[in-house]
Structure 1
Amino acid sequence: MRLVSWNVNGLRSCVSKGFNDYFQQIDADIFCVQETKLQEGQINLELGEAHTFYWNYAVKKGYSGTAVMTRIKPLSVRYGMEEDQEPEGRILTLEFEAFYLVTVYTPNAKRDLSRLEYRMEWEDRFRAYLQDLDKLKPVIVCGDLNVAHQEIDIKNAKGNRGASGFTNEEREKMTLLLDAGFIDTFRHLYPDRGDVYSWWSNMPGVRERNVGWRIDYFLASARLAPFITDAKIDCEIRGSDHCPVILELELS
């Protein structure tokens, strides 16, 4: 089974930059996207009939939003942690026979950290939500988690310490999530692999010099570890300031 996650930073823009070609090439069973930045009816994706689409739109136009394209029919679909309090379209949960899939676009603390307090409260609710799901069946979490967890996950750790996405507070919340029974699938397989990132600033030359951050993840319930066959980061794929991340599993 192959799962893909990609923060497309505007799906309509990404489609004009090769999204459809990548979608067909990668041949994922489940393909998740974040930051769709569109409303219902604003895009007509021609990706064949094998996948069913599920969308969680933000109330604010041109902002946030998540989607899942799956060729495996889910048993149920949930929009947000608390459906009446999820105006930013950040979470989609699909229940399958063997696991829950949660795709997420974690709130950014903002450059001036003005949203850090909200981010901390959101992180606690999200962790509790995942733990409740994990009591029922294993969970796979994917998306833009907006944090470089370890120094190995960022090109310039010293220069970015305390910056949004690399504050002690955000990194500690990731540690708490992993300690709650989840694994970072890429680090599980490749604990020492450096210079592999999933996001780069749009400033000139930054991506060419690979001055990046690894902030896009596949996390999984620890008991799924024996079934993971690979975790990849498609660093060479353009179309967004993020690149796709991939998880492959052997599930009976």
Structure 2
Amino acid sequence: MKFISWNIDSINAALTSSSERALLSKNVLSSLIEYNPDVVAIQETKLPSDGPSKKHLEILKDMFPNYKIVWNSSVEPARKGYAGTMFLYKDTLNPSVTYPAISAPGTMDYEGRIITLEFDKFFLTQVYTPNAGDGLNRLDERQAWDIKYAEYLASLDKEKYVIATGDFNVAHREIDLAHPNSNHNSPGFTDEEREGFTNLLAKGFTDTFRYIHGDVTGAYTWWAQRVKTSKINNSGWRIDYWLVSDRIADKVIRSEMIDSGPRQDHTPILLEIDL
């Protein structure tokens, strides 16, 4: 099976705006169908609480014919038009869909951060992990989230295989970002967040990119928009992942980034696995 994950940073913009950045986003989104994915996971949709509009759904149906669409949007008491996740999956598939709450702190459970698809033999779940925030003002909540999320994945793993993807908002190792020394204690590269990801993997999960590619360097999934030359200079971070239960790691065929051209921010990631 073939899966794609992408933090799109506003699906509304990608589908309806005519700005230069939005057109770049739409081009990337349109290109994903060429991979013939069984499932596409999208994070940071930034949709209203009631989800995509009729126009959004019409455009998506045109771009992804023969796919079903499910979503999880931020709802009160959380901020409106914030975070959010979405799955597009082939209509020949028939998963059960859940929108888990994990007893996370603050409003995190209301921010549309997790969707899980249950198939006969495995779970496919995506996450948009909360950022530690400017000045690390949300780091304590982020640490609590990491514990709760790891427990959630472990609970799924007791039932059947797990494939987990999304924007985990952490560069796990120094080789996962271009400038580890100058970014130490920046959001996404604190000791606490890195330890949280280590603890998650220790519960029985494999980082498929590292499993396939070893300690290769210079491979990133995100480049800061605020720095115009970040992607040109490959000054990036690897913060988007495909994880699988350890016992199916040997089933992974490919785990890699999809080229998003000149568009900065996140790039899509691909997993191909023989289940």
Letter in 2 for 1:35: E
CA spacing shift, 1:58–1:111, aligned 2, 3 Å: same
Which residue is equivalent to 1:66?
Answer: 85
Q: CA RMSD in A?
A: 1.7
- 1:210 maps onto 2:210 in alignment: no
Read off the aligned partner of 1:188 and give its amino acid letter. Answer: Y
- The residue aligned with 1:54 is 70
Deviation at 1:199, TM superposition (A): 0.5
Q: Shift in Å at residue 239 of structure 1?
A: 4.7
What amino acid sits opposite 2:209 in the alignment? F
The Cα of 1:225 is off from its aligned counterpart by: 1.0
- CA displacement 1:155-189 (0-9 Å, x = unmatched): 00000011110000000010011111000000011
| Paired residues of 1:93 and 1:103 also in contact (CA < 8 A) | yes
Say yes or no: does 1:124 pair with 2:126: no
Runs of 4+ in 1 over 6 A off after TM superposition: none
> Which residue identity does 1:58 align to in structure 2?
S
Distance in 2 of aligned mates of 1:104 and 1:240: 21
TM-score by length of 1: 0.94
Q: Is the 8 A contact 1:130 1:139 kept in 2?
A: yes
- Distance change >3 Å, CA 74–CA 86, structure 1 → 2: farther
Deviations 1:43-93 (A, max 9, x none): 232224321111001123221000010115243111123499721000001
The Cα offsets for residues 98-126 of structure 1, whole Å up to 9 and x where unpaired, read as 21011000000012001000001111111
- Pair 1:248-2:263 in alignment: no
- Confirm or deny: 8 A CA contact 1:9 1:240 kept in the other structure: no
Percent identity of equivalent pairs: 39
Q: Report the counterpart of residue 4 of structure 2 in structure 1.
A: 4
Structure-1 separation of matches of 2:95 and 2:170: 31
Q: How do 1:25-174 and structure 2 match up within 5 A?
A: 25-39=34-48, 40-42=51-53, 43-44=56-57, 45=60, 46-59=62-75, 60-71=79-90, 72-82=92-102, 86-174=109-197
Give TM-score scaled by structure 2 length. Answer: 0.87
Structure 2 residue matching 1:143: 3-state secondary structure: strand
Contact 2:28 2:260 in 1 (8 A): no
Structure 2 alignment gaps of length 5 or more:
16-22
For 2:11 and 2:176, how far apart are their aligned partners in 1? 26
One of 211, 219, 222 as aligned partner of 1:188: 211
Q: Which moved more, 1:45-54 or 1:23-32?
A: 45-54
Residue identity in the other structure for 2:223:
W
Higher normalized helix content (fraction of residues): 2
Distance 1:27 1:51 in 2: 11
